[in-house]
Amino acid sequence: MSSITDVAKLAGVSPATVSRVVSAATYPVSAATRERVIDAARELDYVPNALARGLLKSQVPVVGVIVHDITDPYFSEIVRGVEDAASHSGYLVITCSSERDPERENSYVRLLRSMRASAVIFAGSGVDDPERNEELARHLVGMQAYGAAVVHLSPPAVGVPEIGVDNAGGIARMVRALVTMGHRAVAFAAGPTSLYVARERLAGYRRGLADAGIGLDERLVVTTSLDREGGAQAADLLLDGEAAFTAICCASDLLAIGALQRLGERGIRVPDDVSLAGFDDIAMAGMTAPRLSTVRIPLREMGRRGFELVDRALAGEALTPEEMPAEIVLRESTGPPPAVALPHALPAITARRSPA
Amino acid sequence: MSSITDVAKLAGVSPATVSRVVSAATYPVSAATRERVIDAARELDYVPNALARGLLKSQVPVVGVIVHDITDPYFSEIVRGVEDAASHSGYLVITCSSERDPERENSYVRLLRSMRASAVIFAGSGVDDPERNEELARHLVGMQAYGAAVVHLSPPAVGVPEIGVDNAGGIARMVRALVTMGHRAVAFAAGPTSLYVARERLAGYRRGLADAGIGLDERLVVTTSLDREGGAQAADLLLDGEAAFTAICCASDLLAIGALQRLGERGIRVPDDVSLAGFDDIAMAGMTAPRLSTVRIPLREMGRRGFELVDRALAGEALTPEEMPAEIVLRESTGPPPAVALPHALPAITARRSPA
DNA sequence: CTGAAAGCGCTTACAG
DNA sequence: CTGAAAGCGCTTACAG
């Protein structure tokens, strides 16, 4: 491994001069000297040591992204956006799948701090855990002390996110679209109330109903986990309940996909017997049969924008909160309501199945 | 930001002593001193500077994973496995979506080198590009020069991968399973021949056919891209071709999902009219309707194992190549062949649709 | 335009 | 068991 000193020797100049031509800095160096340095660097296959540089600058061009799970398409899409923007500026991105576990999250942030990462981007929604927040806050203060930026892509435990999502508006619009199709009894599969996003989306459901002048039937709101299992569970709960419904609005695509599957297992056709809508518009939403109607969030764009904010913050600019749009996209999983609503239609559906 | 010196002062000891208690090293320090240091460190919220440490050790506990696209579930699963294993050892993982572009790949590896990352794991299959390989090789030599490990999870341009996958065996077994169900005319949707994996999987198809004593019909092998679009294209090609087939074996799940969708659009039922099989067993394979029969590769496990090898290599051990198994999982997209094979059954299928 | 020198925050022989 | 000193590879005032 050749160092700056090796290059300096070979080029017959001082290390300071090599530094001046090799680093991005714009510093006057004579053309002849510059060329000799470049030749020497190439000859020695010199690659600057970012650690040494980072030690001086007290940070390295690395940004960490805290996600729930990189395997969840919602997050991998965001991470990709961050990566695209970051790599343009010569930054590397570290992925941290915290599984929403405060301990893992803290340990990741501590590691990021010890590495003097230039920034942390929180892509997942916060969970309510005062204990977590105490230690996390300490690390964040520590990071800011050496000049790192912190950006939230979703509401943090306290305060406003640098980049929010119009979660409530998105769901409200979807509910209204369903009402326009003729639905009056729209159920809602909500995520856990400990998650900010889930709460916002539930609020959107309420608002959508209110906008349409439809009263809320608490029996039509089922709270489960924000994944596929939760969706299956929600479908069962609704089907085994008393309240009539002709559409199910889900707080996430994964939830909707789980519901779609369970509905299929129970012989219920979508959208003939019931309409179904998701949220997020992950790639998978366009691959199901029928394809899912959903609310689209520009996930990748959100990641990109997240890095842009990091870049700005690093440049000393103050950040003003912004919000990503959430627009509905209607595909084949939604349609007009059936003649008889579920779960009352269940016996007929079962009968329809058996002879086949 | 307090440094080791600050802690030393507060504890009334030398920086060397602080280093000895704070770093993982097992060095004799009296219990009393140790305690004073720990108290001082806590009081100052001291977090060691990994950059300074890395400068001395000439590497930081960071490993880079080069993937095609973190958004592709095949790769995010692997990355998650690496992450799980890495975080146990206090390593951070950097994701690099190269899009199989030699330039991006080189630039990522160079960045990793400048950061003195402890290792690079190549998760994607190599592409044939001599030019790429020249620069890449230089960077890899550079990394090894400072003690970094390099691990391939798929065949590299030259040599044997540290962790291979039984691609050929997996496809061969799937072909045999289809033959057992009664199929004789099994088509194959292959990936681009420039990709090692794609070539291996094609070889598996050939072998499977040979094992079953069935002659190869070149018209039944269609070469497209390894994604959803490729799958739709493959379905069209086969359907618009002359050769009869009752099953389609795909080189990847994404390919199979694309084919499934196109088949559906053209009114063809799976598995009634044609059987369909994928490869990889990404999460999505279990969510389609019908659920996809496929060949399962333990992706996450592969990632975990990849980091374990890094760990070993870093400890100075020599690595011996190993192979991950690929086992078939039969779900609902495969079944007995229809009475009349495609594409000859097409007119009847079209007729079946129209009246509806 | 160029160089000598100090220093970023650690670790590690070397003494004691 | 503890400490003083050197050095990892850079960058940046400060001189010239």
Q: Which tokens belong to B164? A: 């291979």
Q: Which tokens belong to A330? A: 């209607």
Q: Which tokens belong to B64? A: 């880079």
Q: Could you tell me the distance in Å between the CA of residue A258 and the C1' of nucleotide D13?
A: 63
What is the tally of structural domains in chain B?
3
Structural domain including A81 reads 59-161+301-325
Nearest to B253 by CA among B170, B343, B155: B170
Contact at CB, A94 and B97, closer than 8 angstroms: no
Q: Is residue A255 within 8 Å of residue A197, measured between CB atoms? A: no
Same-domain check for residues A30 and A115:
no
pLDDT per residue, tens digit, chain B (356 aa), is 899 999 999 999 999 999 999 987 778 888 889 999 999 999 999 999 999 999 999 999 999 999 999 999 999 999 999 999 999 999 999 999 999 888 999 999 999 999 999 999 999 866 667 767 888 999 999 999 999 999 999 887 777 889 999 999 999 999 999 999 999 999 999 999 888 889 999 999 999 999 999 999 999 999 999 889 999 999 999 999 999 999 999 999 999 999 999 999 899 999 999 999 999 999 889 888 899 999 999 999 999 999 999 999 999 999 999 999 999 999 999 999 999 999 999 999 988 876 54
Same-domain check for residues A135 and A179:
no
Residue A53 lies in a domain: no
Contact at CB, B1 and A58, closer than 8 angstroms: yes
Residue B54 lies in a domain: no
Residue A103 lies in a domain: yes
Q: Is the dihedral of CA B336, B338, B343, B346 positive or negative?
A: negative
Residue B279 lies in a domain: yes
Q: Which tokens belong to B29? A: 């320090």
Same-domain check for residues A193 and A340:
yes
Instruction: Determine which helix (DSSP H) or strand (DSSP E) holds A6, and give its type and residue range.
Output: helix A4-11
Nucleotides on chain C within 7 angstroms of protein Cβ: 1-5, 7-13
Q: Of A77, A92, A284, which has the smallest distance from its Cβ to B287's Cβ?
A: A284
* Residue position matching structure tokens 């108290």: B39
Q: Which tokens belong to B355? A: 């009246």
The single-letter code of the amino acid at B204 is: G
Q: Are strands B60-67 and B92-97 parallel, antiparallel or unpaired?
A: parallel
End position of a domain, from candidates B28, B48, B68: B48
Contact at CB, A283 and B58, closer than 8 angstroms: no
Q: Which tokens belong to A109? A: 């942030």
Question: How far apart are alpha carbons B63 and B60 in whole angstroms?
Answer: 9
Q: Could you tell me the distance in Å between the CA of residue B16 and the C1' of nucleotide C14?
A: 13
Best probe of the B interface among A99, A115, A304, by most B CBs < 10 A, is A115
Residue A54 lies in a domain: no
Asked if the C-beta of A45 comes within 8 angstroms of chain B's C-beta atoms, the answer is yes
Residue B53 lies in a domain: no
Q: What is the pLDDT of residue A128?
A: 67
Question: How far apart are alpha carbons A305 and A298 in whole angstroms?
Answer: 10
Asked if the C-beta of B1 comes within 8 angstroms of chain A's C-beta atoms, the answer is yes
Give the angle A10-A15-A21 at the CA atoms, nearest 5°: 90
Residue B70 lies in a domain: yes
Strand arrangement, sheet containing A117-122 = A149-152, A117-122, A60-67, A92-97, B92-97, B60-67, B117-122, B149-152
Closest chain A residue to B284, measured at CA: A284
Q: Is residue B136 within 8 Å of residue B108, measured between CB atoms? A: no
| Residue B211 C-alpha, separation from nearest chain A C-alpha, in angstroms | 34
pLDDT average per 10 residues of sequence, chain A (356 residues) = 93 93 83 92 95 96 97 95 97 95 93 97 76 86 95 84 94 98 97 90 97 96 93 97 97 96 93 97 89 96 97 94 96 96 92 68
Same-domain check for residues A234 and A338:
yes
Same-domain check for residues B217 and B334:
yes
Half-sphere exposure of A176 (CA within 13 A, CB side): 15
Task: For residue B8, report the phi and psi dihedrals to the nearest 5 degrees.
Answer: -60, -45
Residue B107 lies in a domain: yes
Same-domain check for residues A182 and A235:
yes
Question: How far apart are alpha carbons B28 and A309 in whole angstroms?
Answer: 47
Residues of B in contact with A80 (CB under 8 A): 69-71, 97
Put simply, whether the predicted model's pTM sits higher than 0.75 gets the answer yes
Best probe of the A interface among B42, B95, B227, by most A CBs < 10 A, is B95
Same-domain check for residues A137 and A107:
yes
Q: Is residue B226 within 8 Å of residue B201, measured between CB atoms? A: no
Task: For residue B319, report the phi and psi dihedrals to the nearest 5 degrees.
Answer: -100, 140
Q: What is the pLDDT of residue B356?
A: 47
What b/e sequence results for B174-186 when a residue is b if at least 16 CB atoms lie within 10 Å of its CB, and e otherwise?
bbbbbbebebbbb
Contact at CB, B114 and A58, closer than 8 angstroms: no
Same-domain check for residues B44 and B190:
no
Q: Which tokens belong to A130? A: 């005062």
Same-domain check for residues A195 and A336:
yes
Asked if the C-beta of A58 comes within 8 angstroms of chain B's C-beta atoms, the answer is yes
Q: Which tokens belong to B188? A: 């194959």
Q: Is B18 helix (H, G, I), strand (E, B) or coil?
A: helix
CATH number of the domain that residue B317 is part of: 3.40.50.2300
Same-domain check for residues A234 and A118:
no
Same-domain check for residues A216 and A341:
yes
Q: What is the pLDDT of residue A356?
A: 47
DSSP readout, A52-68?
HHHHHHT-EEEEEEEES
Q: Is residue A228 within 8 Å of residue A258, measured between CB atoms? A: yes
Instruction: Determine which helix (DSSP H) or strand (DSSP E) holds B75, and give its type and residue range.
Output: helix B73-88
Hey, which residues 72-91 in chain B have their CB within 8 Å of chain A?
Answer: 73, 76-77, 79-80, 83-84, 87, 90
Instruction: Determine which helix (DSSP H) or strand (DSSP E) holds B67, and give its type and residue range.
Output: strand B60-67
Q: What is the pLDDT of residue B97?
A: 96
Same-domain check for residues B148 and B184:
no
Q: What is the pLDDT of residue A45?
A: 95
Give the angle B246-B252-B254 at the CA atoms, nearest 5°: 100
